[in-house]
Amino acid sequence: WLPKAHVEAPIAGSMVLAAVLLKLGGYGIIRMTPTNISTALIYPMIAMATWGVIMTGLTCLRKTDLKALIAYSSVGHMGLVASATLIQTPWSTSGAVILMIAHGLTSSMLFCLANMLYERTNTRMLIAMRGMHKAMPLMTSYWLIASLTNLALPPTINLIGEIQIMATLFNWSPLTIMMTAMGATITATYSLQMFMTTQQGHLTKDSKETYPAQTRELLIMLLHALPILLLTLNLELIY
């Protein structure tokens, strides 16, 4: 239901759902999961969570709806968070909290960027949004920041959270490294594909009169990018 809720919701609903409500769910899992949970329950749940990361990533690779692509990406990242919270170690919980904060900023930024393109093109189809670098060159910078943080480029806060979770899962079971590594590779692929499709190429005939980014839109992007940069430079702000 989550991708459907993201796609059908207005932009404010998508941003709040990605940045706040999903984090409340992760916090609830951290608080409510018992420390003595049975191993028979942990194994299938973590297996489903890590497999979900791969399946949502593969779904993103074939999505033509930009908002649906970002929604499935959001689900995939929360699969990592869910698997980390079930292990119940200080290292895994710390990684889950870091990734939740990073994902809240990045996913909200991507939804906002997608809505800006939708307001100008009246479509969410990727093929109809190509060449936006020529119409809105300044917004391309924010697209690049959002895409690279989404794929966990070093030394962003997203990478720190993902590395902590991967290390915890590998320590718990070495087999999980295959799932998490494959998920990270697929995430990098569809993030770069999303950026290249929307920003590169020739403008469509309907997009040649696209108006540039407004001040309020640039301010919203700055208020997303600035916390990501500050947390990357000083991770101790979370603790």
pLDDT mean for each 10 residues of the chain (239 residues): 84 89 88 74 88 93 91 91 88 91 93 90 85 84 93 90 93 90 93 91 72 86 92 76
Structure tokens at 5: 């809720």
pLDDT for res 206: 67
Structure tokens at 87: 């292990």
**Cis (ω within 30 of 0) for the bond into 155?**
yes
Tokens of residue 52, six digits: 């979900």
Token pair of 234 as six digits: 């000083």
| Cα 78 from Cα 194, distance rounded (Å) | 20
Distance (Å) of CA 85 to CA 31, 38, 192, 220: 9, 14, 28, 31
Name residue 160's beta-bridge partners. none
- Token pair belonging to 127: 């093929």
- The residues, any chain, with a CB within 8 Å of residue 55's CB and separated by 6 or more, are none
In degrees, rounded to 5, the angle at the alpha carbon of residue 158 between the alpha carbons of residues 151 and 224 is 95
Query: Could you tell me if 102 and 145 are in contact, meaning their C-beta atoms sit under 8 angstroms apart?
Result: no
CB atoms near residue 14 (< 10 Å): 25
**CA separation for the pair 29, 13 (Å, rounded):** 22
- Can you give the pLDDT at residue 132? 84
pLDDT of residue 88: 83
* Helix (H/G/I), strand (E/B), else coil: 95: helix
Rounded alpha-carbon distances, angstroms, from residue 25 to 13, 17, 22, 79, 174: 16, 10, 5, 12, 27
Tell me the three state secondary structure of residue 159.
helix
6 within 8 A of 14, measured Cβ to Cβ: yes
Q: Compute the distance between CA of residue 156 and CA of residue 149 in angstroms, rounded to an integer.
A: 6
Say what the pLDDT of residue 207 is: 66
User: Which pLDDT score is estimated for 232?
Assistant: 87
pLDDT at position 203, please?
78
